[in-house]
Chain A
Amino acid sequence: MNDIDLDRFGRPRVVVTGMGAVTPHGIGLDAAWAGVIEGRSAISGITRFDPTGFPVRFGAQVPELDPVDDRGWPVPDEVAHLAADLKGRLAVAAAREALSMAGLPRLGDRAGVCLGSEAARPSLADVARRMADNEPPDAGTLARMRPDAPTRLLAALAGATGPRSTVSTACTSSSQAVGEGVLRLRRGGLDAMIVGGVDVLVDPIMVTGFSLLGALSTRNADPQAASRPFDADRDGFVLGEGAGMLVLETMASARARGATVLGEVEGFGCSCNAYRITDSPPDGRGAAQSMAAALADASLNPEDVDYINAHGTSTMMNDASETRGIHRAFGAHGNVVRVSSTKSMTGHLVAACGAVEAIYSLLACRDGVLPPTANLDRPDPECNLAHVPKVAERQLVRRAMTNAFGFGGSNGTLVVSARA
């Protein structure tokens, strides 16, 4: 192993050689990135079910996945049942793109999978059938509902027989899954990890539950303006769905096989708020601790970060708390570092948001473009940050930080760069 293969602490460097995404902007990385760079909202009226009468009648839905070329990564028969619902199909589509981009062969025991995922919910049809017949869902449905179903599916798809694990920390899940992949590769013994997350939230039961909590925007008359992180007129988040997958490798592995290195994950940190289930601490202490931990893990100073892809959910509480967290962690640089929330356009992808937003952050570094916060007409004085309002901006991004903060108070932060 050469010096170039090791980080400042002498640990194996962890680089990104593949990325794939399915977001409300479309299928594939190009569609996902183009949507946020254009500052275009992908939020619209719900079509997946009849939302008449619901207090919230819009969401950020992915387009229908057409039958597509499997890109040389067919779903093995033994896990085909796990790919039979939208969540499974999203995970597969994003993983195929990432694996194809990485140009990896089938992976074997020197590769593992770590995904962020929550349990899936049965369809209303399944629930109705169960209620009518007093019968539990069939075994296939139950297997798909398990949080670790997408992990098992992708491990089989990729032929990765190394360690598998599933992180379920709500909105932080896939941020921590990426972090877990980084930690695993640094320890040695593995060449690659498939990491990421998937979630599907636009369903009647989720809309019912989260609207009762008062967490969702109710801007039914203007869905495209509904998600407005850091804006004074924000009124809640927008449920979304999607998947983001990354292929992580050690630098040594990537160099040895001549892979194109797309970026590097330099730091990972996480923390708990130890505050309340639904609320963030007003002083942003948990968020600040997570960001500081990620900077320390990367051996960086705040001034080394040029852009933060904020968790920025568009709730009154989160955005103010995150703002204070940024100022606590970044000190004076907190007034300068550019900040935006891509949830303003994609809605909240929950268990998938950490991975998808890590991908946006890597692309921001690659292209030197800051994605904007759409709908940021009137920044809330409580959210005094160096925003990127409404329109993308060109700027050198040496490193980007991306935050994910979950219900229950788990926080995750990644620091990425494209300098590798």
Chain B
Amino acid sequence: MTVRVAVTGLGVVCPLGLTPEDLADALAAGRSGLSQNPALAVLEDDRAGKVAKVPVRAWLKRRKDRKLMARASELALAAAGPALDGFTGDRRELGVFLGVGREPPDDGESEAALAAACHEGRLDPVRLAGPGRDRYPPLLPLKTLPNMALAHVSIHLDVMGENGAWAGEVGAGQRAVVAGIRAVAEGRCPAALVGGADSLVDLGSARDRLRLGAEGPPGEAAAVLLLEPLAGARAAGRPVLAVVDLDGKPTPTPSSGLGDEIRAAMGDLGAATVPVELAAHIAAGCPETLCLDRSDAGDVSAAISVSALSPC
């Protein structure tokens, strides 16, 4: 037994703006969110789609917790907070499903520890245990686990329901959204936050992308949608921004060109790609039914359709 699922909340943090409206307006105006990133100065192309300032403070329960957050976690929380704004349901049952990128390389922060552990050009585990250990950031393992974006959203927004963090690249964001739609449609969650967060603009990630053959500049973003059963949302007078389904067929070129537009404007958004596409389409008022399947190499079996409540 499944029910139709509505999008009733939306949050976006991306190089083109910090609200869905900013994003839609910037795309409509053809603006670029790419800029030179000093951290990438050693690369041939130093452009990146970087968010100037992530507005996360308003959503933190304890300001000091920011020290525990890697960039993707900050992006995720800053997008999830607004998506949940106005939700008055029981957060103990609220689900959260996020697509996340690969664990960010920790080389930057552990560099001092590793340097102290080197001896005659060789990394010496015994020195890592001594002088290296003294310089190792103790919180590093907890910042770099892939599920930390999910954890911070849960902790700071009191979300306690079914959850999942899907790791990978573009397909991870799609997988998370699909899982959330299913959880709500099948009645396992009365509502769910779904989306993705990724940051590829540090030097380590940017170099790794190039080494793996990726093209174009790196970017970073997060987008989070709040999903609720359509009937319940309407009965409660909740705003219905769009309706999502899983039974559509993707257009031959996976979308209406929105994906290419976003990539050109902000770079590679990794696991945030699909959620940002969905958010941009919804923010633009769902001018048509968008049906996309951005699975990488057969990673996802269901295409996501998003449309306005009245058939477009």
Partners in one complex: yes
| Interface residues in chain A, defined as those with a beta carbon under 8 Å from any beta carbon in chain B | 49-55, 112, 117-119, 124-125, 127-128, 130-132, 136-139, 142-143, 145-148, 152, 161-170, 173, 176, 180, 183, 187, 189, 204-206, 208-210, 212-213, 269-278, 285-286, 289, 293, 406-410
Residue B38 interfacial (CB < 8 Å)? no
| Interface residues in chain B, defined as those with a beta carbon under 8 Å from any beta carbon in chain A | 65, 68, 91-92, 96, 100, 102-103, 107, 110-111, 113-115, 118, 121-123, 125-126, 128-130, 132-133, 136, 138-142, 145-148, 150-152, 154-155, 157-168, 171-172, 175, 179, 182, 204, 207-208, 211-213, 297-301
Our pick among A132, A142, A180, A270 for the contact of B211 (Cβ within 8 Å) is A142
Instruction: Determine if A165 and B175 form an interchain contact, defined as CB atoms under 8 angstroms apart.
Output: yes
Instruction: Determine if A275 and B165 form an interchain contact, defined as CB atoms under 8 angstroms apart.
Output: no
Instruction: Determine if A167 and B165 form an interchain contact, defined as CB atoms under 8 angstroms apart.
Output: yes
Closest CB-CB distance, A10 to chain B, in whole Å? 9
Our pick among B162, B182, B212 for the contact of A271 (Cβ within 8 Å) is B162
Our pick among A112, A136, A205, A272 for the contact of B110 (Cβ within 8 Å) is A205
Inter-chain CA distance A277–B144, complex, in Å, is 12
In the assembled complex, which residues on chain B have CB atoms less than 8 Å from the CB atom of A285? 160
Contacts A131-B111, A213-B139 aside, 12 further interface pairs with beta carbons under 8 A come to A124-B123, A128-B118, A128-B122, A139-B211, A148-B168, A165-B300, A166-B166, A209-B136, A272-B154, A274-B158, A274-B159, A407-B142
Knowing A131-B115, A145-B102, A169-B147 are in contact, say whether A274-B160 is a contact too (CB < 8 A): yes
Instruction: Determine if B146 and A271 form an interchain contact, defined as CB atoms under 8 angstroms apart.
Output: no
Instruction: Determine if A132 and B167 form an interchain contact, defined as CB atoms under 8 angstroms apart.
Output: no
In the assembled complex, which residues on chain A have CB atoms less than 8 Å from the CB atom of B172? 148, 166
In the assembled complex, which residues on chain A have CB atoms less than 8 Å from the CB atom of B121? 128, 132
Instruction: Determine if A273 and B168 form an interchain contact, defined as CB atoms under 8 angstroms apart.
Output: no
Inter-chain CA distance A273–B160, complex, in Å, is 6
Instruction: Determine if B150 and A408 form an interchain contact, defined as CB atoms under 8 angstroms apart.
Output: yes
Our pick among B115, B132, B159 for the contact of A272 (Cβ within 8 Å) is B159
In the assembled complex, which residues on chain A have CB atoms less than 8 Å from the CB atom of B141? 206, 209-210, 213
Inter-chain CA distance A285–B158, complex, in Å, is 13
Instruction: Determine if B167 and A147 form an interchain contact, defined as CB atoms under 8 angstroms apart.
Output: yes
Knowing A148-B168, A277-B142 are in contact, say whether A124-B125 is a contact too (CB < 8 A): yes
Closest CB-CB distance, A418 to chain B, in whole Å? 26
Inter-chain CA distance A212–B140, complex, in Å, is 10
In the assembled complex, which residues on chain B have CB atoms less than 8 Å from the CB atom of A209? 136, 138, 140-141
Our pick among B129, B167, B298 for the contact of A51 (Cβ within 8 Å) is B129
Our pick among A50, A117, A212, A273 for the contact of B136 (Cβ within 8 Å) is A212
In the assembled complex, which residues on chain A have CB atoms less than 8 Å from the CB atom of B162? 269-271, 293
Q: Which residue of B lies closest to A54 (CB)?
A: B129
Interchain residue pairs with CB less than 8 A apart (11): A118-B145, A124-B123, A138-B211, A139-B211, A152-B297, A169-B163, A272-B163, A406-B147, A408-B142, A408-B150, A409-B154
Closest CB-CB distance, B26 to chain A, in whole Å? 31
Closest CB-CB distance, A12 to chain B, in whole Å? 14
Our pick among B65, B150, B299 for the contact of A164 (Cβ within 8 Å) is B299
Instruction: Determine if A277 and B301 form an interchain contact, defined as CB atoms under 8 angstroms apart.
Output: no
Q: Which residue of A lies closest to B149 (CB)?
A: A408
Instruction: Determine if A277 and B155 form an interchain contact, defined as CB atoms under 8 angstroms apart.
Output: yes
Instruction: Determine if A136 and B208 form an interchain contact, defined as CB atoms under 8 angstroms apart.
Output: yes
Closest CB-CB distance, B224 to chain A, in whole Å? 15
Instruction: Determine if B182 and A163 form an interchain contact, defined as CB atoms under 8 angstroms apart.
Output: no
Instruction: Determine if A271 and B163 form an interchain contact, defined as CB atoms under 8 angstroms apart.
Output: yes
Instruction: Determine if B159 and A408 form an interchain contact, defined as CB atoms under 8 angstroms apart.
Output: no
Instruction: Determine if A163 and B211 form an interchain contact, defined as CB atoms under 8 angstroms apart.
Output: no
Instruction: Determine if B142 and A208 form an interchain contact, defined as CB atoms under 8 angstroms apart.
Output: no
Instruction: Determine if B155 and A274 form an interchain contact, defined as CB atoms under 8 angstroms apart.
Output: yes
In the assembled complex, which residues on chain A have CB atoms less than 8 Å from the CB atom of B212? 139, 142-143
